[in-house]
Amino acid sequence: MGKEANQKKRIPGLPKSATLPQFSDNAITVLERRYLKKNEAGEVVEEPKDMLWRVAWTIAEGEIPFEPKADIKKLAVEFYEMMACLEFLPNSPTLMNAGRELGQLSACFVLPIEDSMESIFEAVKQTALIHKSGGGTGFSFSRIRPSNDLVHSTSGISSGPLSFMSVFDCATETIKQGGTRRGANMAILRVDHPDIMDFIKIKADLTKLQNFNLSVALTDEFMSALKSDDDYDLLNPRNNEVIKRQNARKVFKQIVKQAWLSGEPGIVFIDRINADNPTPQVGPIESTNPCGEQPLLPHESCNLGSINLARMVNDGKIDYDKLGKTVSTAVHFLDNVVDINNYPLPVIEEQTKANRKIGLGVMGFADLLLLLETPYSSQQARDLAAEIMAFVDRTAYNASIELAEKRGPFPNFPESTYGTENPTVPIRNATRTTIAPTGTISILAGCSSGVEPIFALAFLRRVMDDDELFEINPIFESVARKNNFFSHALVKKIAHNGSCHNLDEIPEKFRLFFESAHDITPNDHIEIQSAFQKYTNNAVSKTINFAHDATIEQVEKAYLMAYEKGCKGVTIYRDGCRENQVLNIGKTDTKQVTVGTEKPTKRDRPQALVGRTYQMSTGCGPLYVTINDDEKGLTFELFNTIGKAGGCAASQSEAIGRLVSLAWRSGQQPEPIIKQLIGISCHKPSGFGENRVTSCADAIAQAIRHHIEKNNGKRNQALHEENNMAFGACPECGGVVEHEGGCMVCHTCGYSECA
């Protein structure tokens, strides 16, 4: 049966006896914005239950090639019930596209890049097609010769891998991914590449590579050299010759320092990943998907799905019978996805079907711990993580064996020696388990994300007209009401503190296990990641959170601990390390700066001033910023006019202009004003690269910077480095953005920068 015909085939009605999904109001908002069918006028024409039935029926039809007389309706109901009861959800492209014309169901892709213009720009084209279809892409740039290396065909010199990363970044910015989100990329460079130091430092300027997550591929040789404080070889990938020796500790300290400053680059232990490569005879793994949890071969894709562990608790215990049935059904579901999928490129279809990798993971782990009254930071939580994932992995393995008995093993299996328990037993899927970040589908399921802790038990959400709504974790609210310590004043206090651990109105026994991300040490994060990784075929997407005052040495210790504990990669994030991080629960800047003892005097305006007008492109339209200088060449006043926007945008811009003018006339220098305004984000950014403008306030700051540089006749690099604008308000709805699973996620509308 042709896939296109299958996607357009009429789907029968949902049985009347089917369970109706109990999506929260927040989940409904996300579904209407991103997942449900819309007509040409943009109006939603599909109900959530119909979306789930569309997905269930389409995936069930994957049974027909193997069993032409299969009871499709019975299997579709089984798939539907699993999703409607919020026990399992597939990755977003499957929910969005199954049974629709696009039909592209994969979230993860890795594309090869060889050391030639033909390969590089073929990869750019393939990236565009994948992003258009709703997927994210990962690349290793390690095969590209270093900068200033010889190019024989032109007798010129190479510009190196970093210059080509910018080409991919530009292309990604141009393409709106599937009409729902911008494409996400992972860029990996091996630690033995000669340009590694430039790669590590590139995001010191956060205006660069904004559509990329960056990771350094650390080798066992490098880690050995690091341990002995020795040098290691830097190799030219063009001919594999040693360019020079580099001190491992120097490189490692630079990685740690940059991660401490901005959260990037992450690290992946590439030799450890390849030690678990199920098909080494096909080739080495060089890259992962954008969040790092899915190592893939070149031109391979993967379909992900996650089980909601919060739904696997019964009477205070884990219901392993229910969990086992859900795992087996989910493996069946994901294996069908491999066949029903409409791949963006024939070569991707060929490679994916040759290995049939699936990535079944979990979400709601933090909720499960709350239901079991178990602190996230406890040894009991680590033991539970290992126990649960061992069960999931073993059950998925057995389910894959059963599918292989009926359908045959994955085509590359005969030469493989890989298997969890018995390497000689044919299996259907080269890998079965992955821990993904689940940023958006966890909102739909109404549970915590992936294996992350609860970000906050309560937080403040600002909505239209600046109304304030306090969101409360439903498990905490239920326990608090049941035990008579719930109050709205308590919720407000928790939202501002970010933790309940020091609140006497909460009994101590509850304070102990109601931990949020603010209460958990980096070591606790790594222990949980390690426990899950031990029984996960692929990798674990997890953010290791640090307090703002964490030291560089603490980050270094965490990286080394992750390696010793068997993790396959690490992503860290130090709270507030990017100046414009939106969500800073319970943190108030109480620092006061006294500038001299003399009272500033306001300068009178002369009758005539000289200045320049700068046109800045913003999401609200063109903004014209006029900056006038006094007779001494000092900035004196600022006026601005914004296109035809009117209303709030115009009034806010005018207000900023008046305050800036007052500050300048009172003797304030322009540099502190730039630092305060630059990078402020709104929901309508504009442009990309160095021309990216995140708000009207940001545009004004950039205009002031341009003016200073024109007056001085040179670029002020320090002011450019202040432009830490990568983390701001959600570009879709302007809501709170959280850093979890190695990605930025908005829990208001479901936006995720990493697919």
pLDDT tens digits, one per residue of 612-622: 898 888 878 88
Of 587, 592, 561, 593, the closest CA to residue 574 belongs to: 587
Closest CA to 231 of 257, 218, 253, 250: 250
**What is each CA distance from 680 to 295, 579, 699, 722, in whole angstroms?**
35, 9, 9, 11
Of 518 and 240, the structure prediction assigns the larger pLDDT to: 240
pLDDT of res. 593: 34
pLDDT at 502 over 50: yes
3-state SS assignment for residue 187: strand
Provide CB contacts within 8 A for 90, sequence distance 6+. 55, 83, 105, 303, 304, 305, 333, 334, 337, 441
Range list of β-strands (E), 227-350: 231-236, 241-247, 266-269, 287-288, 295-296, 300-308, 313-314, 317-318
**Architecture in CATH for domain 108-126+135-288:** Alpha-Beta Barrel (3.20)
Amino acid at 407: R
Q: Where are the alpha helices (DSSP H) in 315-378?
A: 320-340, 346-355, 365-371
For residue 289, pLDDT over 70 is answered with yes
> CA 690 to CA 207: how far, in whole Å?
6
Contacts of 482 (CB under 8 A, 6+ apart): none
Residue 401 has pLDDT above 80, yes or no: yes
CB 685 within 8 A of CB 692: yes
Percent of the chain with pLDDT over 90: 61
pLDDT in tens, 439-462: 889 999 999 999 999 988 887 655
The DSSP bridge partners found for residue 267 are 216, 570
Place of tokens 């070149």: 298
Query: What CATH number is given for 610-721 in this structure?
Result: 3.90.1010
Residue 420 pLDDT > 60, yes or no?
no
In the chain, what are the domain boundaries? 108-126+135-288, 610-721
Does residue 725 have a pLDDT over 80? no
Question: 169 or 85, which is more confident?
Answer: 85
* pLDDT at residue 550, as a whole number: 93
Between 154-168, 606-620, 729-743, the lowest mean confidence (pLDDT) is in 729-743
Quick one: pLDDT band at residue 650, thresholds 50, 70, 90?
confident
Q: What is the overall mean pLDDT for the chain?
A: 87
pLDDT bucket at 542, cuts 50 / 70 / 90: very high
Measured CA to CA, the distance from residue 341 to residue 303 in angstroms comes to: 9
Between CA 682 and CA 696 the distance in angstroms is 8
Residue 46 has pLDDT above 90, yes or no: yes
Q: Are 438 and 449 in contact (CB under 8 A)?
A: yes
Longest CA pairwise span in the chain (Å) = 90
**What residues are labeled active site?**
289, 291, 293
β-pairing verdict for 300-308 and 88-90: antiparallel
Q: Kind of pairing, strands 743-746 and 176-177?
A: unpaired
pLDDT of residue 518 exceeding 70, the answer is yes
* CA gap 754, 304 in Å, rounded: 14
* pLDDT level of residue 410 (50, 70, 90 thresholds): very high
pLDDT for res 171: 87
pLDDT recorded at residue 667: 83
pLDDT at 671: 87
Token pair for 314: 């019964």
Q: What is the pLDDT of residue 748?
A: 64
Dist. CA 193–CA 145, nearest whole Å: 9
**Of the given ranges (50-59, 497-506, 734-743), which has the lowest mean pLDDT?**
734-743
**DSSP 3-state assignment of 70?**
coil
Q: Quote the CA–CA distance of 520 and 525 in Å, as a whole number.
A: 7
Contacting residues for 278 by C-beta, under 8 A, at least 6 apart: 355, 416, 418, 430, 431, 537
CA distance 413 to 332: 18
Check residue 544 and give its pLDDT: 93
**Residue 595 pLDDT exceeds 70:** no
The pLDDT score that the predictor gives to residue 445 is 95
pLDDT of residue 498: 72
Given this model, what pLDDT does residue 344 score?
93
Block residue for tokens 């739904």: 311
Lowest mean pLDDT among 62-76, 158-172, 632-646, 660-674: 632-646
3-state secondary structure of 241: strand
Least confident of 50-59, 353-362, 457-466: 457-466
* Angle at CA of residue 185, ends 692 and 536, nearest 5°: 145
Question: What average pLDDT does this structure show over 707-716?
Answer: 82
Mean pLDDT of 129-155: 86
Answer whether residue 580 shows pLDDT above 50: no
Check whether 722 has a pLDDT greater than 60. Answer: no
Please state, in angstroms and rounded to a whole number, the distance separating the CA atoms of residues 506 and 647: 45
For tokens 């503190």, the residue is 497
Decide if pLDDT at 600 tops 70. Answer: no
Confidence of residue 736 (pLDDT cuts 50, 70, 90): low
In contact, 382 and 534? CB cutoff 8 Å: no
Residues in the chain: 755
Question: Is the pLDDT reported for residue 598 higher than 60?
Answer: no
